[in-house]
Amino acid sequence: MKKVIIIIVLLLELFLLFNSKIVIIEFRKTLNICLYSLMPTMFFSILFSNILLLNNFENILPNFKNKKNISIIILSMLSGYPNNIKLLKEDNNEYMNYCTNYVNPLFLIGTVGTLYLKNMSITIIILFSHYISNIIMYIILKNKIKIIASNSSISSKSFYTKSVTTTITTLAVIFTNLLLISIIISLLKYTLPFDNGLNSFIFGLIEFSKGTYEISICNLNIYLKGLIILIIITFGSISIHLQSITINPKIKYIKFLLYRLLNVLISIFIYCFILSIYKFK
């Protein structure tokens, strides 16, 4: 396995050497997405979710038996993946990882809905389909999910310092993986023989933020664009998967991947169902 990794890295080095102009252009596009689309939405979402977690956010919830689990779901909804993996890293609760893979809502509504699609109705349908599919995943896996115990409270100074440190670490992992993935996208962009729509879909499965933009500018029906973007954000992309494994190496990737695919199928069904009602009206 190590030999294979060495060969792949050397090939990427050669690609960088002989195609530096192409890679620099792709790096600039990725950096623009990181700085102007992801950073403004993810930084505050991740920071606030960590502050709430460290201050035992679950204590303000009704006295459910599993209110810590519910608080993790709510915080995952607010902050988006892969922060859900970070929130669950210390709890060793494998199946919660499979039903808390929510896209950052600020990115979906603010960036995809307002700037990319420019259609808030379809964006809301995407958001509902995505959220409901994760909730159904939780219901399916409910009997396998452990009840998480509440953390002991920490001092005001400690929770702020820890929240900022955790946020910076999480963003560093995210952006490092994005830049690495951009090399692979550069390689594929000039070698894939397919049309723009299929290429954009493949790029989305590799890196979701770039893929959603590429799909939004394709000459496709708005409902089809919405479906493809839903598939991309629910699958999460290979980039998000790598980030998740980097944050928590204990994740069993094959199982993680299979549950992502199940989540995608559920979300497609919900999207088509909601869209049929929406179009009928």
CA distance linking residue 115 with residue 112, whole number of Å: 6
The two tokens of residue 14 are 């050669």
Mean pLDDT of 176-200: 71
Do residues 184 and 169 touch, judged by C-beta distance below 8 A? no
Residue 210: inside a domain, yes or no? yes
Do residues 75 and 37 touch, judged by C-beta distance below 8 A? no
Residue 32: inside a domain, yes or no? yes
Do residues 15 and 187 touch, judged by C-beta distance below 8 A? yes
Q: What mean pLDDT, rounded, does the chain reach?
A: 80
Residue 260, pLDDT score: 92
Mean pLDDT of 180-202: 72
- DSSP-derived 3-state class of residue 226: helix
Residue 152, pLDDT score: 54
The two tokens of residue 235 are 């699958």
- DSSP-derived 3-state class of residue 125: helix
List of residues 6+ apart from 225 with CB closer than 8 A: 117, 122, 215, 216, 218
Who has greater pLDDT, 141 or 176?
141
Residue 12: inside a domain, yes or no? no
Residue 59, pLDDT score: 73
DSSP string, 84-103: HHHHHGGGT-GGGGGS--PP
Residue 162: inside a domain, yes or no? yes
Residue 7: inside a domain, yes or no? no
Residue 93, pLDDT score: 73
Who has greater pLDDT, 36 or 129?
129
pLDDT band of 148, cuts 50, 70, 90? low
Do residues 171 and 43 touch, judged by C-beta distance below 8 A? yes
pLDDT of 229 higher than 90? yes
pLDDT tens, 7-21?
A: 666 776 676 666 667
Residue 53: inside a domain, yes or no? yes
CA distance linking residue 164 with residue 48, whole number of Å: 9
CA distance linking residue 276 with residue 281, whole number of Å: 9
Model pTM?
0.82
Residue 167, pLDDT score: 80
pLDDT of 235 higher than 80? yes
Q: Which residue has the tokens 């960088």?
A: 16
Percent over 90 (pLDDT), the chain: 17
CA distance linking residue 178 with residue 200, whole number of Å: 16
pLDDT band of 76, cuts 50, 70, 90? confident
- Taking alpha carbons only, the member of 200, 154, 203 closest to residue 53 is 154
Mean pLDDT of 80-108: 81
Who has greater pLDDT, 112 or 69?
112
Residue 281, pLDDT score: 54
Residue 17: inside a domain, yes or no? no
Mean pLDDT of 51-62: 74
User: What is the span of the domain harbouring residue 111?
Assistant: 22-280
Who has greater pLDDT, 263 or 15?
263
Do residues 90 and 146 touch, judged by C-beta distance below 8 A? no
pLDDT band of 230, cuts 50, 70, 90? very high
Which amino acid is located at 69 in the chain?
Answer: N
Give the count of domains, the chain: 1
The two tokens of residue 199 are 């290429």
pLDDT of 217 higher than 80? yes
- Taking alpha carbons only, the member of 187, 180, 195 closest to residue 22 is 187
Residue 280, pLDDT score: 55
pLDDT band of 94, cuts 50, 70, 90? confident
Residue 10: inside a domain, yes or no? no
Mean pLDDT of 168-176: 78
pLDDT of 270 higher than 90? yes
